[in-house]
C-alpha cells in the first residue's frame, strides 16, 4: 500500500471547512495533481467531510482522509492516514487518541488502506501547533531526531514536515529527507504559488499545497506544473 504514496510528487490538501466553487473543484480534479488529501485543524465535521468526498467522486484521483478524530471516520476514501504529532509533550496526540479510536472502532478499520503519518510541526503560529501543544522551536538536529524516530523506530511510511502558514527552512527539510531510510517525506506550508512550489519540490519528494487554493486559486493551480517540472535535488 505504501508504494502508492511513493509515486506522488504533488498533493492538494483540501479543508472540508472551506469552500471551492464547483468550477474550481473541477479544475482541481483535472489539474494533474497526484492525490487529494482531506484534512484540517478545526471546523471539520462528518457532514462537511462527506460532502467534500462526494464532490470528488468519479475523478479517478486518490482521495485520502487524515482521521484526526473519531467523528471524521467517513467511509469511501481510498486511503486513511492517522496523524501522529511527534514533537508534542502531550501523549494524547501521539497514542492516546489513536488507542481510544481502536477501542471503539477497531473491528471496522480498513487496515489494508490505513497508515500512520508522523507529523513534525514547525510553525508556532499554526493551528495544529496550538491544538497539539507541539514544540516548534526545533533546530535541524532536533527535527532529524524526530524524523529518524518515525522512520527507523516506529517504521511510519510518511514523515510530514508541517509549516502551515509559513514557508519552511529548506535546508532543514533537505537534512530531514537525507536522514530517512524508508519513510517518504511530505512537505507542507507557505506555498503561495509556483516559485515556492518549485523550491519545495527540489527538496521534498512530495509537496502538499493547501491554503493558497482558497486565497489565490490560480496561483495554487499553477503549483502542479511547477512541482511536476522540478527535479528532486540530490
What are the tens digits of pLDDT across the range 180-226?
Answer: 999 999 999 999 999 999 999 999 999 999 999 999 999 999 999 99
234 part of a folded domain: no
Report the CATH number that the domain containing residue 108 is assigned in CATH.
3.20.20.390
Cβ(161)–Cβ(186) under 8 Å? yes
- The domain of 184 spans 2-228
* Mean pLDDT of the region 67-94: 86
Burial 137-157 (b: 16+ CB within 10 A, else e): ebeeeebbbbbbbbbeeeebb
Q: What gap in Å lies between CA 164 and CA 56, rounded to an integer? A: 24
Cβ(150)–Cβ(117) under 8 Å? no
Backbone phi, then psi, for 22, in 5-degree steps?
A: -55, -45
* pLDDT surpasses 80 at 166: yes
209 part of a folded domain: yes
36 part of a folded domain: yes
233 part of a folded domain: no
DSSP H helices in the chain: 2-5, 22-29, 46-55, 96-105, 127-132, 140-148, 170-179, 194-203, 212-215, 217-228
Structural domains counted in the chain: 1
- Picking from 146, 150, 167, the residue whose alpha carbon sits closest to that of residue 210 is 167
Cβ(185)–Cβ(205) under 8 Å? yes
* Mean pLDDT of the region 35-48: 86
176 part of a folded domain: yes
- pLDDT class for 120, splitting at 50, 70, 90? very high
31 part of a folded domain: yes
114: left (phi over 0), alpha (psi -120 to 50) or beta: beta
The residues, ordered by sequence, that sit 6+ positions from 200 with a Cβ below 8 Å of its Cβ are: 168, 170, 173, 187, 191, 207, 227
- pLDDT class for 67, splitting at 50, 70, 90? confident
116: left (phi over 0), alpha (psi -120 to 50) or beta: beta
Backbone phi, then psi, for 130, in 5-degree steps?
A: -65, -45
Q: pTM, whole model, 2 decimals?
A: 0.93
Amino acid at each position: 500500500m505504501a508504494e502508492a504514496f511513493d509515486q506522488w510528487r504533488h498533493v492538494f490538501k483540501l479543508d472540508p471547512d472551506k469552500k471551492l466553487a464547483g468550477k474550481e473543484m473541477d479544475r482541481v480534479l483535472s489539474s494533474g495533481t497526484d492525490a487529494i488529501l482531506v484534512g484540517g485543524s478545526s471546523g471539520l465535521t462528518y457532514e462537511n467531510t462527506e460532502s467534500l468526498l462526494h464532490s470528488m467522486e468519479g475523478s479517478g484521483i486518490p482521495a485520502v482522509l487524515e482521521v484526526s478524530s473519531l467523528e471524521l471516520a467517513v467511509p469511501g476514501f481510498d486511503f486513511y492516514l492517522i496523524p501522529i504529532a511527534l514533537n508534542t509533550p502531550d501523549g494524547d496526540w501521539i497514542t492516546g487518541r489513536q488507542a481510544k479510536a481502536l477501542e471503539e472502532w477497531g473491528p471496522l478499520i480498513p487496515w489494508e488502506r490505513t497508515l500512520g503519518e508522523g507529523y513534525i510541526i514547525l510553525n508556532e503560529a499554526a493551528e495544529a501547533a496550538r491544538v497539539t501543544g507541539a514544540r516548534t522551536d526545533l533546530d535541524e538536529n532536533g527535527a532529524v531526531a524526530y524524523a529518524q524516530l518515525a522512520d527507523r523506530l516506529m517504521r511510519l511510511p510518511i514523515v510530514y514536515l508541517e509549516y502551515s502558514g509559513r514557508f519552511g527552512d529548506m535546508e532543514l527539510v533537505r537534512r530531514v529527507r537525507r536522514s530517512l531510510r524508508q519513510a517518504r517525506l511530505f512537505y507542507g506550508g507557505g506555498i503561495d504559488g509556483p516559485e515556492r512550489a518549485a523550491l519545495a519540490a527540489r527538496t521534498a519528494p512530495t509537496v502538499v499545497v493547501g491554503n493558497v487554493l482558497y486565497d489565490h486559486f490560480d496561483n495554487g493551480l499553477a503549483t502542479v506544473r511547477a512541482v511536476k517540472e522540478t527535479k528532486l535535488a540530490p
